[in-house]
C-alpha cells in the first residue's frame, strides 16, 4: 500500500492549517518528524482498567505490542475504550457490551488509524471491542490477555467461577466452613489474567483464534507466561503487514469462519455466551447466522477438551497440552480449513505441525471426552424463538425430564424465597425464573444457573432443571435452559408459567414444552399485567428501547451491520 493510500495520510499527510493541527498537538508526546512520514498508524485499543481485574496487566501487554509495531515500521498509538469488569459491574457487564462496542467503533473510525490491535480479556471486553471494530472494518488483530494460572487450594487445583459456585453451595449445605470458604477465596485468583476455566473469557479467546482473528496458538498462553508478551509483540509486527496487505476483518470473519467458531466451541466445551456474542459479531460484518446453526453445526461435535466446567483441567494445562491448534487439527474434517487467518496463512497451514502432549487434557475425535456435546437449541411453546442448553455441563439423567414448575417472578423474588423452608419444591420440580432477559433485567444477567434451594442441597441433590430468559456464566454448570426467547418481559410464554404447571424438557428431541392448553395460555396472556419497569434514562433507556432478543445476539437494532471507516468531514 502506498503512503498516500493510507487512511492516516488524510490526517498526517495534509498540508496547511489542517496538517498543522493534526500533527502539532501530537508532537507534544515527543514524536519526531518521521512519525508522520507516511508509516502505518496502528491503534492499540486497550481495555485496561483496574476495575477489570482480568485486564489489569494490559498496560504492560500494550508495551509489547508497541515494540512489535515499531520493529515492523509502524507508528503505534494506544488508546482506551470502556472496559467491562465482569465481577464488578452492576446490574451486569452485559448491559454495557453494546455501549463499549459503540465506544470502540466510534473511536476507531474518528481517528487517523490504518490498523488496530484489540487488547481483550475479561468476558465482555472481547465481543464488545470486536463488534465495534467489525463495524469499521479496518485491518485488525486481536490480542487476548491470557488466563490466570491454576487456582490452588488444599493441594488441588481450583477453577475461577466453577469452584465459586461449588464452594458457595457447599457452604450453604454446611459442607464447608466460613473459614475454609475465605481461604479458598484467597487461593483462586493468584496471578494476572482472566478466568482460567473454559468460561466465557477463555471461550472468547478460543473463538477469536477459531475465527482467525489472532495469531495461532494464542488462546491458552497464561497471562503470566513470558510467551504471552512474545505473542503480543508478534501481533504488533503482524498488524503492520496486515495494513500493507489490506487484510480487513471482513476478509477473515466470513460465513465459513463463523461456522468454524461454532464447531470449535463445541469441541472445547465453550460457554453458552458464545451463542449471543458470535451472533452479534457476525451481524456486524453482515454474516447472518441463525440460532439453529449452533445446533446444526455444533451439537454433534465431540467434546475434546477436558476442562472445567465440562471436565476437570484448567487453561494452564490446556496450554501445556498443546492448546487450541491441537483441537483445530483434531476437528479439521469438520472445519473449513482453507479460510484466511490474521497471519496471512490458512487455518490448515497454521495447525499443520501441532502435537498433543497430554491426551487426558485434549482427547481425540475417536476417543472424545464426551460424544455430541455441543450446544443444543430447544423449541416449543415455551420458547417459540428458541432456547439453549449446554449438555456437556448438564446432568445426563435430566436431559429428558417432566416436572412441576416452581416460579420466581424476578431475581428479587428468587432471592427472597429460594431458601424459605416452606417453599414447595422437590428435586423433580422445574425452577423457572422470569424477567432476567435483555429488556427485563435489563442486560440479561448471568443468573440462569440459579442456586438450588438450601433444603434440596441438604438432601445431597446437586442439580435440577432450571429455565430462564437469562444467561449463565461460562464457568457454571447444571441442567440449565437459557436464553428463552421471546423473553418474559415482552410477553413471551415464559411470562405465563404458573406454579404447578407441568414442563417437559426433552433435549434429544429438542423440545421445551409447557403443558398448558392454548386457550388457558391466551386467557393468562390477556390478564398479564404490564410491568411498568424501573424508569430508565440515558444509555439504559436506549438499550431497553433497542436491544434485540437473545436469539438475535442481543445487539441493538441500529448497531447491526457496518458502515466502514470513511469519514468525509474535517473537524475544523
Ligand atoms: Fe473476568 Fe471471568 S471475571 S474473565
**pLDDT (tens digit, 9 = 90+) per residue, 58-108?**
999 999 999 999 999 999 999 999 999 999 999 999 999 999 999 999 999
Euclidean distance between the first and the last CA atom of the chain, given in angstroms as a whole number: 28
pLDDT at 530 (0 to 100): 61
- Closest atom of ligand 1 to CA, residue 474: 2
- ω into residue 132 within 30 of 0, thus cis? no
Closest CA to 303 of 191, 387, 391: 391
pLDDT at site 59:
97
Atom 3 of ligand 1, residue of closest alpha carbon: 86
> Has residue 52 got a pLDDT over 60?
yes
Distance 55 CA to ligand 1 centre (A): 9
Residue 318 contacts residue 306 (beta carbons within 8 Å):
no
Give the H/E segment covering residue 262.
Answer: helix 255-268
- pLDDT confidence of residue 571: 83
What is the 123 CA–ligand 1 centroid distance (Å)?
A: 6
* Cα of 33 from ligand 1 centre, angstroms: 42
* Domain 376-535+543-550, CATH number (from 3.40.630.30, 1.10.10.10, 3.50.30.80, 3.40.50.800): 3.50.30.80
Q: What is the Å distance from ligand 1's center to 127 Cα?
A: 13
Q: What is the pLDDT of residue 157?
A: 97
Tell how far the Cα of 307 is from the centroid of ligand 1, in angstroms.
16
Name which of 93, 84, 89 is nearest 129 in CA terms. 84
Q: 502-536, pLDDT tens digit by residue?
A: 999 999 999 999 999 999 999 999 988 765 556 89
pLDDT for 132 equals: 98
- Per-residue pLDDT tens digits for 271-298: 999 999 999 999 999 999 999 999 999 9
Q: Are 130 and 120 in contact (CB under 8 A)?
A: yes
Nearest CA to ligand 1 atom 2: 195
Average pLDDT score over the chain = 96
Model confidence at 426, pLDDT cuts 50, 70, 90, reads: very high
Do 39-151+194-351 and 376-535+543-550 come out as alike in CATH topology? no
- 43 pairs with which residues across the strands? 77, 116
The dihedral of CA 110, 111, 117, 121: what is its sign? negative
Please report the atom of ligand 1 found closest to the CA of residue 85: 1
pLDDT tens, 538-563?
999 999 999 999 999 999 999 999 99
Cα 122 to averaged position of ligand 1 atoms, centre (Å)? 5
Ligand 1 pocket test target in 147, 160, 205 with most atoms within 8 Å of CB: 160
The ligand 1 atom nearest the CA atom of 473: 2
- 212-260 pLDDT, tens per residue? 999 999 999 999 999 999 999 999 999 999 999 999 999 999 999 999 9
For the cut 60, the answer to whether the pLDDT of residue 378 exceeds it is yes
Say which residue the cell 428479587 belongs to.
412
Answer yes or no: pTM beyond 0.85. yes
Q: Whose CA is nearest to atom 1 of ligand 1?
A: 122
Q: Calculate mean pLDDT across residues 6-30.
A: 96
Ligand 1: residues within 6 Å at CB?
54, 86-87, 122-123, 160, 194-195, 199, 201
Query: What pLDDT does residue 408 have?
Result: 98
Query: Across residues 145-154, what is the average pLDDT?
Result: 97
| 87 Cα to the center of ligand 1, angstroms | 7
Q: Where are the domains of the chain?
A: 1-38, 39-151+194-351, 376-535+543-550
Superfamily classification of domain 39-151+194-351: Response regulator (3.40.50.2300)
Q: Whole-angstrom Cα distance, residue 308 to residue 210? A: 20
Mean per-residue pLDDT for 418-443?
A: 97
Q: What is the pLDDT of residues 454-505, one digit of tens each?
A: 999 999 999 999 999 999 998 888 999 999 999 999 999 999 999 999 999 9
Identify any residues that bridge with 313 across adjacent strands, giving them in sequence order: 307
pLDDT at 528: 85
| 481 CA to centre of ligand 1 in angstroms | 22
With CA atoms as reference, report the closest residue to 450 among 440, 437, 463, 441: 463
Predicted confidence (pLDDT) at residue 4 exceeds the cutoff of 70: no
> What number does the ligand 1 atom closest to the CA of 194 have?
4
Q: Report which ligand 1 atom has the smallest distance to the Cα of 199.
A: 2
Amino acid at each position: 500500500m502506498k503512503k498516500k493510500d493510507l487512511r492516516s495520510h488524510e490526517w498526517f499527510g495534509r498540508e496547511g492549517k489542517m496538517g498543522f493541527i493534526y500533527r502539532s498537538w501530537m508532537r507534544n508526546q515527543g514524536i519526531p518528524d518521521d512519525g508522520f512520514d507516511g508509516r502505518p498508524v496502528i491503534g492499540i485499543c486497550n481495555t485496561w482498567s483496574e476495575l477489570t481485574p482480568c485486564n489489569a496487566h494490559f498496560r504492560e501487554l500494550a508495551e509489547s505490542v508497541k515494540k512489535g509495531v515499531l520493529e515492523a515500521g509502524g507508528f503505534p498509538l494506544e488508546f482506551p475504550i470502556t472496559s467491562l469488569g465482569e465481577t464488578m459491574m452492576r446490574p451486569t457487564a452485559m448491559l454495557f457490551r453494546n455501549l463499549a462496542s459503540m465506544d470502540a467503533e466510534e473511536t476507531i473510525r474518528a481517528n487517523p488509524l490504518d490498523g488496530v490491535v484489540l487488547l481483550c480479556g475479561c468476558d465482555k471486553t472481547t465481543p464488545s471491542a470486536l463488534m465495534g471494530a467489525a463495524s469499521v472494518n479496518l485491518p485488525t488483530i486481536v490480542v487476548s490477555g491470557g488466563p490466570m494460572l491454576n487456582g490452588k487450594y488444599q493441594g488441588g487445583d481450583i477453577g475461577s467461577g466453577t469452584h465459586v459456585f461449588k464452594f458457595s453451595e457447599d457452604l450453604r449445605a454446611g459442607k464447608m466452613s466460613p473459614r475454609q470458604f475465605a481461604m479458598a477465596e484467597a487461593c483462586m485468583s493468584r496471578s494476572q489474567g482472566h478466568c482460567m476455566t473454559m468460561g466465557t473469557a477463555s471461550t472468547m479467546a478460543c473463538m477469536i483464534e477459531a475465527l482467525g482473528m489472532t495469531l495461532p496458538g494464542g488462546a491458552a498462553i497464561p497471562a503470566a507466561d513470558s510467551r504471552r508478551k512474545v505473542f503480543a509483540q508478534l501481533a504488533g509486527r503482524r498488524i503492520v503487514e496486515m495494513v500493507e496487505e489490506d487484510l480487513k476483518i471482513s476478509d477473515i470473519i466470513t460465513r465459513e469462519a463463523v461456522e468454524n467458531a461454532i464447531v470449535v466451541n463445541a469441541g472445547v466445551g465453550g460457554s453458552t455466551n458464545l451463542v449471543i456474542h458470535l451472533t452479534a459479531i457476525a451481524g456486524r460484518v453482515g454474516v447472518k447466522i441463525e440460532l439453529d446453526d449452533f445446533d446444526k453445526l455444533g451439537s454433534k461435535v465431540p467434546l475434546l477438551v477436558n476442562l472445567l466446567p465440562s471436565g476437570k483441567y484448567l487453561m494452564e494445562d490446556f496450554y501445556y497440552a498443546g492448546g487450541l491448534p491441537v483441537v483445530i487439527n483434531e476437528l479439521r474434517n469438520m472445519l473449513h480449513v482453507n479460510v484466511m487467518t490474521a497471519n496471512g496463512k490458512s487455518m490448515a497451514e497454521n495447525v499443520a505441525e501441532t502435537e498433543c502432549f497430554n491426551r487426558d487434557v485434549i482427547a481425540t475425535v475417536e476417543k472424545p471426552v464426551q460424544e455430541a456435546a455441543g450446544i443444543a437449541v430447544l423449541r416449543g411453546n415455551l420458547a417459540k424463538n428458541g432456547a439453549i442448553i449446554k449438555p456437556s455441563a448438564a446432568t445426563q439423567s435430566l436431559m429428558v425430564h417432566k416436572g412441576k414448575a416452581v416460579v420466581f417472578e424476578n431475581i428479587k423474588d428468587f432471592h427472597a424465597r429460594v431458601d424459605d423452608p416452606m417453599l414447595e419444591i422437590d428435586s423433580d420440580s422445574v425452577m423457572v425464573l422470569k424477567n432476567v432477559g435483555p429488556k427485563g433485567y435489563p442486560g440479561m444477567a448471568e443468573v440462569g444457573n440459579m442456586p438450588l434451594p438450601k433444603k434440596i442441597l441438604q438432601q445431597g441433590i446437586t442439580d435440577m432443571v432450571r429455565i430462564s430468559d437469562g444467561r449463565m456464566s461460562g464457568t457454571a454448570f447444571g441442567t440449565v435452559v437459557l436464553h428463552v426467547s421471546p423473553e418474559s418481559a415482552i410477553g413471551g410464554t415464559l411470562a405465563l408459567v404458573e406454579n404447578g404447571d407441568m414442563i417437559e424438557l426433552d433435549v434429544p428431541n429438542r423440545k421445551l414444552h409447557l403443558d398448558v392448553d392454548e386457550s388457558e395460555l391466551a386467557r393468562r396472556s390477556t390478564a398479564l399485567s404490564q410491568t411498568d419497569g424501573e424508569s430508565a434514562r440515558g444509555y439504559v433507556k436506549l438499550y431497553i428501547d433497542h436491544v434485540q432478543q437473545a436469539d438475535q445476539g442481543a445487539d441493538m437494532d441500529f448497531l447491526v451491520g457496518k458502515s466502514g471507516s470513511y469519514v468525509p468531514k474535517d473537524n475544523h
